[in-house]
Amino acid sequence: MSEEETSLIPGEALTTAEAPPTMREHPSIDSSFESDPHAEKLQALAATARELLSRRKWAEAERAYEQLLMLQQQAEDRIGIAQTKNDLASLFLAQQEWQKAIDLLERSRAVFEEAGDPEQEAVALNNLAAAQYELGQTEQSLANYEKALAMRHDMGDRVGEAKTLRNLGILYAKQGNTNRAKLYLNRAIGVARQANAGELVKIIRKSLSQLPRR
């Protein structure tokens, strides 16, 4: 999920993709092979695609990701393919193409689960839950958020845990369940404080302040 906050408008706070680990580093490309021309090409193409995505150049970013997927498929790089599908799903989420995002995220999540990579699986689950909510699949959305929450708690990922708690709070707010929204948002603040994530605390407090007053 993005750390941008809104006034709980449908189609915004729950649909901006959380940046996966691949946005920071591409772990499928082993640093010991940095001199490998093929690996360097993949790395450069991945960086180009993400830059285009960050600049909201949707069509060009999609073409770059499709080219990257083709090269990874030729190399039979299952983890790399799953990471790229996660990134590509971010593009579809940004354009509110929920079903396309869901199809990609379900496949990538399964690969991360099989590979024993809970960090990336949790990101995929979060983004999957956001898209499912927008399609009215509320039960599936809640289940995936709760699964991501448990995984992040077990990993000791306090920042990720706080973000998922905030997502759940916003979801309940959108459903009109203010009391449950407050519960999750206050828990999110507590976890964010444990992580010394001051900016995230401010964002969650803003979410809390936007809830209806009774």
Residues 18, 160: Cα–Cα separation, whole Å: 10
Chain centre distance of CA 183? 23
Cβ atoms of 129 and 167 closer than 8 Å: yes
Average pLDDT over residues 124-148: 95
Chain centre distance of CA 36? 30
Residues 200, 46: Cα–Cα separation, whole Å: 28
Q: Nearest CA to 130 among 94, 156, 161?
A: 94
What's residue 16's pLDDT?
Answer: 53
DSSP-derived letter for residue 5 is -
Average pLDDT over residues 186-212: 95
**Which comes out higher in pLDDT, residue 69 or 212?**
69
Burial-class residue 78 by CB neighbours within 10 Å (0-12, 13-18, 19+): middle
Q: Which of 4-13, 23-32, 193-202 has the lowest mean pLDDT?
A: 4-13
What's residue 17's pLDDT?
Answer: 65
To 5 degrees, how large is the angle CA 126–CA 213–CA 169?
A: 10
* pLDDT tier for residue 92 given thresholds of 50, 70 and 90: very high
Q: What percent of the chain has pLDDT over 70?
A: 84
Sign of CA dihedral 133, 101, 87, 118: positive
Q: Tokens 């407050």: give the residue.
A: 182
What's residue 70's pLDDT?
Answer: 94
With 70 as the cut, is the pLDDT of residue 15 above it?
no
What's residue 32's pLDDT?
Answer: 43
Sequence spans of domains, the chain: 1-141, 156-214
Q: What percent of the chain has pLDDT over 90?
A: 76
What's residue 35's pLDDT?
Answer: 54
Chain centre distance of CA 129? 9
DSSP-assigned letters across all residues of 16-56: SPPPPGGGT--TTS-GGGTT-HHHHHHHHHHHHHHHHHHTT
Average pLDDT over residues 195-213: 93
With 80 as the cut, is the pLDDT of residue 164 above it?
yes
The listed CATH number (1.10.8.10, 1.25.40.10, 2.40.50.140, 3.40.50.300) that belongs to domain 1-141: 1.25.40.10
Residues 104, 45: Cα–Cα separation, whole Å: 19
